[in-house]
Each structure stands twice: as structure tokens, then as C-alpha cells.
Structure 1
Amino acid sequence: MFSYRHSFHAGNHADVLKHLGQLLLIEKLKEKEKGFMYFDTHSGAGLYDLGSDNAQKTMEFQQGIERLMQYQGANSDIKTYIDLIAQYHRHGNYPGSPEIARCLMRDQDKLVLMEWHNQEIDNLRENISGKNVSIHHRDGFEGLLAMTPPALPRGLVLIDPSYEVASEYQQVADMVIKAVKRWSTGMFVVWYPLIANRHDNESDVHYAQSKMGKSEALLNALKAQPFKNLLQIELCVTSKEQGAGMYGSGLAVINAPWQFDQRMQAALQELTPLLAQSPSASSKVTWLITG
């Protein structure tokens, strides 16, 4: 579980979906003057150089944020996201979720960032700082349960693990169920990949097969809980049959705020054709539990 480095994938289509959702939820929290807590269970390095060897090896950002920087539409939420990213993009960088949260936070808000990878925690500490930011070298699953409920009753948890091993999907479900019981007023966002078979070589096929169906099982486990609400958001840049590995990704949002679904739906109507890698690209916003 310590080989994953997000620097290979920074700024890809999954980041666009995840970080747009993150931004809208934080802005919703900021509508009230009282402070909030932000937890990031798998923070990574926090900031990524798109010119690095890792990013240049995969070039995934070209199918994600690079396309979005050409956006000419009128959706105000997409424009807000692009304006934020542009501050970093002009220097060849892309901000991870910890840096986006830090950029948006106010003096009364608090950020808790967790990372377990020995090298990434050093990168995170070098890239992110602030008087209301605390950084922990610890397992994010254990850390979230240890630190909830927080002193501030409102807040957001972003859960974005690598899913390197198939068992991590069940870990996410178990941890989220426990954490929501401890902090029922918090908003929880779980990012998950949508994976299809690859045909490059036998090891790729085995890797994909070990993960296929796991995201669906994760969603089913969450859907069986007595949550106030559960919103599913997915962006597929191609179809499952055409996909080579990760063909899309999704967000499972617990305690989603009023009109968040409508705003994401409106944004995805414009993002989907822009990020499409085939004519079969699609997106959806679906309530799995309604309050």
C-alpha cells in the first residue's frame, strides 16, 4: 500500500470531478460565519509539478485539467474551479485536495491532513502550512476515527485512498459507517474508481479483475445504512467495454447539502463532453438515499 504516488495521476479527469465537488462543498460550508473542520484522510503531497518525471510519464493531466483550461462555457461553478486552478497552472503545478482546502479556508476554519506514505508526508509538510492546518503522519482510517467528533460541529471529510489492494474498499465502507455514527453532522465524500479489464498484459488483467465490482459493493454497503442522505455522482470518460483500466470515477456524498446535486448535474453536462475520450462518455447524479 506504499507504492502509490498521486503525482502520476495529478490533474486527470478523476481529479477534476473530485476537486470540483470538494470546492462546491467547502463553499457551501462557508455560507455560514461559524468555522468548520476539514479532514483529508489520504492527503498525498498536496501540490504537484506537472513537469515532473512522474506526471510526464503518464501525461494523464492532458486528458483532464489541460482540456478544462480551454473551457469557454458559462457555468459559474466550473469557472470558479478554473480560476482557482489557474493560480497554480500558470506555474506548471496542480493543487491536490489539501491545497485546495487551504486556499479556501478562513481564519475560523481548521484543516486536518493525514498521510501514511513516508515520502509523501515529507512532501506534504513542505508544500502545505498554516496556523489552522495540522498534519499527521498516520493511517487515515485510524486517524479519522480517533479525531471524530471534532470540537466544531460542521465540516467535511474527503476520503480518497489509492485502492491499491482490493480489501481497501471494505476498509473504506467500515470506516465511513463508524465515522458517520460518531459525527452525524459532518459531510463525507468518498471518491472511488470505475475499473474495467486492461489487455496490455496478464498482470494488468489480473489487477483490474481484482478490483471489478468493488466500487459497486462499497456503494451497496453505504446504501444499506440509515444515513440522512447519500448522493452518487459519476463521470465516465468512455464506456466500460472500451475502457483500459480506469474508465471513470465517482463520488459518494453523505449528508449532501441542499442544491449540491443540481449544481453538480449542471456542471457535468458541460464537463462530460469536454473530458470525453469516446462518444460513449457519460455522467450521472443519483440519490441512493433521500432524506
Structure 2
Amino acid sequence: MLSYQHIYHAGNLADVQKHALLCVMLDYMTRKDKPLSYIETHAGRGLYDLTAPEAVKTGEAAQGVARAGDWFAPDHPYARAMAQVKAAHGVDAYPGSPLLAALSLRPGDTIHLAELHPQEFTALRQAMRPYGAQVHKQDGLELAQSICPPTPRRGLMLIDPSYEVKSDYATLPGQIAALHRKWNVGVIALWYPILTSGAHKPMLRALEQQGLPDTLRHEVTFPPAREGHGMIGSGMFIVNAPWGTQDEAKRLGTLFAAL
């Protein structure tokens, strides 16, 4: 359960989809002059070096963000945050979702990040120290259930497990329904992999039976990053999807379909 490290996959095509949608949602939500809470249940280390041996070994970034660099105009929220990270940390730096969120939010907003892996937690705490994030070495879903509804009440939660624990597929629909009951105004975004095994399909059926409001399901497919790799796509299931998210999802879908 504590073996997963996202450095092997940072900047892949799944990150491009997830991070572009995250930045668009937060950009829209921060236009209103009211504070936000951002909660992330599986935060990783927050900042990645794409020249690290782990990233080079899988080649996923080379097949991902390196190919999608021209998909985003300079004023796109994702491109703006990426430019800030590269200016501060070098051209080979890639931001995880905690750092993208921090760069999208404002001084009065609140950030809660959970990460259990000891090395990832240490790196996350260091990367996020300048942003005043509350970093928790705790099971992310336990944290989410304990602080919902958060203060401020407006906000967004990203649930982004590694799915190494196969029971996640069965338990997440009930967890998300419970979170929504506690926090009916919250945007809850779940990322999931699309695998050749189809392991995600029963989870999606269960989610769609929960009666959740204003849901957006967005999936993209792409070639395997290497021979034998089981992930052939990426999905986001979003509760209370903010205005404009559907338009960005449609745009991304067209771009991914052309790969």
C-alpha cells in the first residue's frame, strides 16, 4: 500500500488530462471573491524532476506532457502554473496537483493534503512549505471524512488513488456518496485509470447509481506508454462540476483523439 511513487508516472498523459481539468476548475472557482478549501487525498510529493532516473525509466513523461506542450495557450490556467514552476525550479520540473492547486489559489484559501508514503510525505511537506498548506501523514479518505464539511465551505476535493489497493474500486462510490452528503456544495473530483482489464467499469456503474448532482464523466484514451503497459486511458468523475469544465473536457477529448 505504501510502495507507489508517482515520479515513475509524473507528466504522463493521464496527468495532462487530470491537471488541465483541475486548473480550469480552480480558475473558475477563484473568480468569485469568497475563500475556498482545497483537499487532496493522495497528494504524492508535489514537485517532480522529469530527468530523474525513475521518470526516464518509464518514458511516460516523454509520451505525455512533452507531446502535449502545444495544446495549451500561454493564458490557459494549466500553462500559467507550469510556466511559474519552470521559472522557479527549471525546465525539467513538473508540478503535481498539490502545487498546481497552490499556484491557482489565493492567500485566503485553505489547503489540506494527505500522503502516507514516508518519503513522499517528507518531500511534499518541503515542496508545499512556501504555500502554507496543511500536510497530513494520514489516510486521505479518513482525513476527508473527518474534515468535511471543511472551513471555508466552498471548495474542491481531488481523490487520486494509485489503485494499488484493488478494494478502492469497490469502496470509492460509497465514500464519495458519504462525502457529498456531508458537503453537498463541494466539488468532488475522482481520477481513475482506464485499464485493459476494465477494472474501473463496475466502479463507474456504482457511482452513477448514487444519485449525485451535476456529474461530469470524462474519459480519454491513448496508446500504452510502452509495450505491455496496461493503462490505455484516463478518466475523471466530477460531482458539482463547475461551469466551463464540460467545454474544456470536450476540447481535451478532441486533442487526445488525434494522438
TM over 0.5: yes
Q: Aligned partners of 1:131 and 1:68: how far apart in 2?
A: 28
Q: Could you list the per-position Cα deviations for residues 105-160 of structure 1 after superposition, in whole angstroms to 9, with x for gaps in the alignment? A: 10111110000111110110111124641000000011100010112121000000
* Cα pair distance change 1:146/1:80, threshold 3 Å: closer
Indicate yes or no: 2:117 matched with 1:138.
Answer: no
Of 235, 238, 255 in structure 1, the residue corresponding to residue 220 of structure 2 is 235
Deviation, structure 1 residue 6: 0.2
Indicate yes or no: 2:36 matched with 1:36.
Answer: yes
More relative contact order in 1 or in 2 (CA 8 Å, sep 6+)? Answer: 2
Q: Which residue of 2 aligns with 1:84?
A: 81
* Cα pair distance change 1:153/1:80, threshold 3 Å: closer
Indicate yes or no: 2:200 matched with 1:215.
Answer: yes
Q: What letter is aligned with 1:126?
A: Q
Q: Which residue of 2 aligns with 1:224?
A: 209
Q: Aligned partners of 1:219 and 1:230: how far apart in 2?
A: 12
Q: Is the 8 A contact 1:20 1:78 kept in 2?
A: no
- Point out the structure with max Rg over C-alpha: 1
Q: Superposed, which structure 2 residues align to 1:247-262 within 5 Å? A: 247-262=232-247
Q: What letter is aligned with 2:253?
A: L
Deviation, structure 1 residue 76: 4.8
* Cα pair distance change 1:131/1:192, threshold 3 Å: closer
Q: Which residue of 2 aligns with 1:264?
A: 249
Moved more, 6-15 or 88-97: 88-97
* Cα pair distance change 1:93/1:220, threshold 3 Å: same
Between the two proteins, what is the percent identity of the paired residues? 35
* Cα pair distance change 1:127/1:185, threshold 3 Å: same
Q: Superposed, which structure 2 residues align to 1:1-291 within 5 Å? A: 1-69=1-69, 71=70, 76=73, 79-89=76-86, 90-130=90-130, 132-196=132-196, 212-238=197-223, 244-273=229-258, 276=259
Q: Aligned partners of 1:216 and 1:243: how far apart in 2?
A: 21
Q: Aligned partners of 2:43 and 2:165: how far apart in 1?
A: 18
Q: Is the 8 A contact 1:159 1:188 kept in 2?
A: yes
Q: Aligned partners of 1:189 and 1:41: how far apart in 2?
A: 11
Q: What letter is aligned with 2:126?
A: E
Q: What letter is aligned with 1:8?
A: Y
Unmatched segments (≥5 aa) in structure 1: 197-211, 277-291
Q: Aligned partners of 1:11 and 1:231: how far apart in 2?
A: 23
Deviation, structure 1 residue 271: 4.2
Deviation, structure 1 residue 77: 8.5
Q: Aligned partners of 1:8 and 1:40: how far apart in 2?
A: 20
* Cα pair distance change 1:194/1:243, threshold 3 Å: farther
Deviation, structure 1 residue 78: 8.0
Q: What letter is aligned with 1:46?
A: G
TM-score by length of 2: 0.92
Q: Aligned partners of 1:131 and 1:120: how far apart in 2?
A: 17
Q: What's the C-alpha RMSD, in Å, of the aligned pairs? A: 1.9
Q: Aligned partners of 2:250 and 2:17: how far apart in 1?
A: 11
Q: Aligned partners of 1:189 and 1:115: how far apart in 2?
A: 17
Q: Could you list the per-position Cα deviations for residues 195-249 of structure 1 after superposition, in whole angstroms to 9, with x for gaps in the alignment? A: 11xxxxxxxxxxxxxxx3331111111111121121110110139xx97310001
For these two proteins, the number of residue pairs brought into alignment is 254
Q: Could you list the per-position Cα deviations for residues 36-82 of structure 1 after superposition, in whole angstroms to 9, with x for gaps in the alignment? A: 1000100000000111111111110011111122x1x6x65884422
Q: Is the 8 A contact 2:222 2:256 kept in 1?
A: no
* Cα pair distance change 1:91/1:238, threshold 3 Å: closer
Q: Is the 8 A contact 1:68 1:82 kept in 2?
A: no
Q: Aligned partners of 1:250 and 1:43: how far apart in 2?
A: 18
The SS at the match of 2:67 is: helix
Q: Is the 8 A contact 1:78 1:267 kept in 2?
A: no
Q: Aligned partners of 1:165 and 1:131: how far apart in 2?
A: 31
The SS at the match of 1:84 is: helix
